[in-house]
Amino acid sequence: MTLSHWQSRRDRVNKKVDVVVVGAGIAGASTAFWLRRLAPSMQVVIVDRHEPAGGASGRNAGFLLQGHATSFAEDVDRLGIERATLFWDYTLENRDLVFSEFATAGIHLRETGSVTAAGSPIEAERLARSAELLRDAGRPARYLDAAQAADATASSGYYGGLHIATGAVVDPVRLVQAIVERAGAEVVTGLHVSALEPTPDGCVVVSDRVTYEASHVVVAVNAASGLLLPGLSSTIRPVRAQMLATDPLPIQLNVPVYSHEGYYYVRQLSSGHVLVGGARHLHRAAEVGHEDATTVALQEDLSRYLRTHFSWCASHTVKERWSGTMAFTDDKLPKVGHIPGLDRAVWVGGFSGHGMSMAFLTGRVVADLLLQRSRHPVLDLLEV
Ligand SMILES: Cc1cc2nc3c(=O)[nH]c(=O)nc-3n(C[C@H](O)[C@H](O)[C@H](O)COP(=O)(O)OP(=O)(O)OC[C@H]3O[C@@H](n4cnc5c(N)ncnc54)[C@H](O)[C@@H]3O)c2cc1C
């Protein structure tokens, strides 16, 4: 967003606070939550151009999964067993923290288990290997043959699956709202932050209405990271994801399902609505950038996928269609770093389509880093 000569001359309000968190998605909200826990006397303000959860955090499927959606075997091949296990444990710790803090918060948090279903024989082999690798590493996992996968997911046409007992689901908007509420921070919406400037004691956060002088700053703007901090544009890529929700159908599916190497995901809500998303791999060129829009071709692919694998959805009608912008990194790991040229300013982002499964704990990691407290081992994976 640019500002005209007339707009930028407008008198701005100047405020002094201890910490400004830019971004009221799950990453920013969680950082504010942990700042309050670690340093209760600090005055924290969360600013966002939208309401909390107005970005990806309010537009996702609400899966709280372990590891990546592809497979543990792929993570082991890319990262090695030690780092892949560290990453797995990070998502597990995130999930456990969400349960320990919000189990009774009315956010539809449910321990359902999860299934990654194989869309091809090769994927089935990889999932079988993942089950073995996880068991060898002492992390419970069960390989499902094709018939067992069909049974577990009320589906047909998959070649096998991986069942993880600790998989869970949540209402993502309610989760972010609950985190914001417990963060106890002032939340200022409708503010577009356009620049960060150094001062001798911290940083100035420039927005279209208010200018904040803060001793500490956290930037958690996800896919917009490269717009606010151009140095990050080669690290964080904006990638669009689309979903739809059907009208209610009789309940059949009790677990969240990822399939086709994470390119499709499905769950059914207790209200009967079926949520399905993905199909991005069929429209790679179109599904990049910041535009919030759905396309007919991709939405048809989502319906086709439902009809192919979930016969009980064959004649579904669609209630809502939407899109959201994710932030991808080359190695699919989120990143945390200090902002060059600014003391006591940290950025976080790049959850690569899995922020719900990592960001609550990541908020604690970021708060620790900002306050120079303890260092979580996962920082060795995330810090740039
Ligand atoms: C369709 C879809 C399905 C997904 N499904 C899942 C899933 O099931 N499980 C899972 O783990 N993950 C899923 N994800 C990914 C997950 O939603 C994201 O990884 C996560 O929400 C990222 O959180 P965030 O706080 O980093 O970003 P966001 O939620 O995008 O928050 C960033 C905030 O920054 C604000 N902002 C940006 N620029 C500025 C600025 N200049 N000034 C002020 N404010 C600004 C935005 O308004 C926004 O509110 C999905 C994503 C999508 C889009």
For 295-327, the pLDDT digits (tens) are: 999 999 999 999 999 999 999 999 999 999 999
Domain assignment present for 260: yes
Which pLDDT score is estimated for 68?
85
| Residue 69 binned pLDDT confidence (cut-offs 50, 70, 90) | confident
Q: Tell me the average pLDDT across 198-214.
A: 92
- Nearest atom in ligand 1 to the alpha carbon of residue 348 is 26
Q: Tell me the average pLDDT across 231-256.
A: 97
Of 328, 343, 368, the one marking the end of a domain is 328
pLDDT > 80? residue 10:
no
Which pLDDT score is estimated for 13?
80
**Which of the two residues, 36 and 14, has the higher pLDDT score?**
36
Of 313, 328, 343, the one marking the end of a domain is 328
pLDDT > 70? residue 9:
no
Domain assignment present for 137: no
Residue pair 190/199 in contact (Cβ under 8 Å)? The answer is no
Percent of the chain with pLDDT over 90: 95
Tell me how far apart the alpha carbons of residues 190 and 48 are, in angstroms, rounded to a whole number.
6
Ligand 1 atom 19 nearest Cα: 355
Q: What is the CATH number of the domain that holds 278?
A: 3.30.9.10
- 247-291: pLDDT as tens digits: 999 999 999 999 999 999 999 999 999 999 999 999 999 999 999
- 357-384: pLDDT as tens digits: 999 999 999 999 999 999 999 999 999 9
Q: How far is CA 190 from the centre of its chain?
A: 22
* 214 shares its domain with 340: yes
Residue 271 corresponds to which tokens in the numbers above? 């209200």
* 350 shares its domain with 269: no
pLDDT > 70? residue 77:
yes
* 339 shares its domain with 369: yes
Q: Which DSSP string do the residues of 97-119 spell out, in sequence order?
A: HHHHHHTTSSS--B---EEEEPS
* 231 shares its domain with 339: yes
Q: Look at residues 351, 134, 169 and name the one whose alpha carbon lies nearest to residue 257.
A: 169
Domain assignment present for 195: yes
* 254 shares its domain with 314: yes
* 367 shares its domain with 313: no
C-alpha of residue 74 to centroid of ligand 1, in Å: 25
Ligand 1 atom 22 nearest Cα: 355
* 243 shares its domain with 375: no
Most informative mutation of 48, 196, 266, 357 for ligand 1 (most atoms within 8 A of CB): 48
- Nearest atom in ligand 1 to the alpha carbon of residue 65 is 11
* 266 shares its domain with 339: no
pLDDT > 80? residue 148:
yes
Domain assignment present for 167: no
Of 305, 328, 351, the one marking the end of a domain is 328
How many C-beta atoms lie closer than 10 Å to residue 119's C-beta?
A: 17
* 377 shares its domain with 262: no
Domain assignment present for 115: no
* 323 shares its domain with 196: no
pLDDT > 80? residue 187:
yes
Most informative mutation of 351, 352, 358 for ligand 1 (most atoms within 8 A of CB): 351
Domain assignment present for 274: yes
Q: Tell me the average pLDDT across 38-63.
A: 98
* 218 shares its domain with 354: yes
| Residue 88 binned pLDDT confidence (cut-offs 50, 70, 90) | very high
Which pLDDT score is estimated for 1?
67
Number of domains in the chain: 2
C-alpha of residue 57 to centroid of ligand 1, in Å: 4
Which pLDDT score is estimated for 369?
96
Q: Look at residues 46, 168, 65, 164 and name the one whose alpha carbon lies nearest to residue 107.
A: 168
Domain assignment present for 209: yes
| Residue 51 binned pLDDT confidence (cut-offs 50, 70, 90) | very high
C-alpha of residue 92 to centroid of ligand 1, in Å: 20
Q: What is the CATH number of the domain that holds 229?
A: 3.50.50.60
Residue 246 structural domain? 237-328
Is the whole-model pTM more than 0.95? yes
Kindly list the protein residues whose Cβ atom lies closer than 6 A to any atom of ligand 1: 22-28, 47-50, 54-57, 59-63, 191-193, 220-222, 224, 228, 241, 243, 277, 324, 326, 349, 351, 353-357, 359
Domain assignment present for 193: yes
* 194 shares its domain with 266: no
| Residue 8 binned pLDDT confidence (cut-offs 50, 70, 90) | low
> CA torsion angle for 107, 111, 112, 115 (degrees, to 10)?
110
Walk across the sheet containing 257-259 and list its strands: 142-144, 161-164, 114-117, 257-259, 264-268, 274-278, 237-246, 318-328
Q: Tell me the average pLDDT across 11-22.
A: 90
C-alpha of residue 321 to centroid of ligand 1, in Å: 17
pLDDT > 80? residue 12:
no
pLDDT > 90? residue 331:
yes
C-alpha of residue 208 to centroid of ligand 1, in Å: 22
C-alpha of residue 364 to centroid of ligand 1, in Å: 17
| Mean pLDDT for the chain overall | 96
Which pLDDT score is estimated for 7?
65
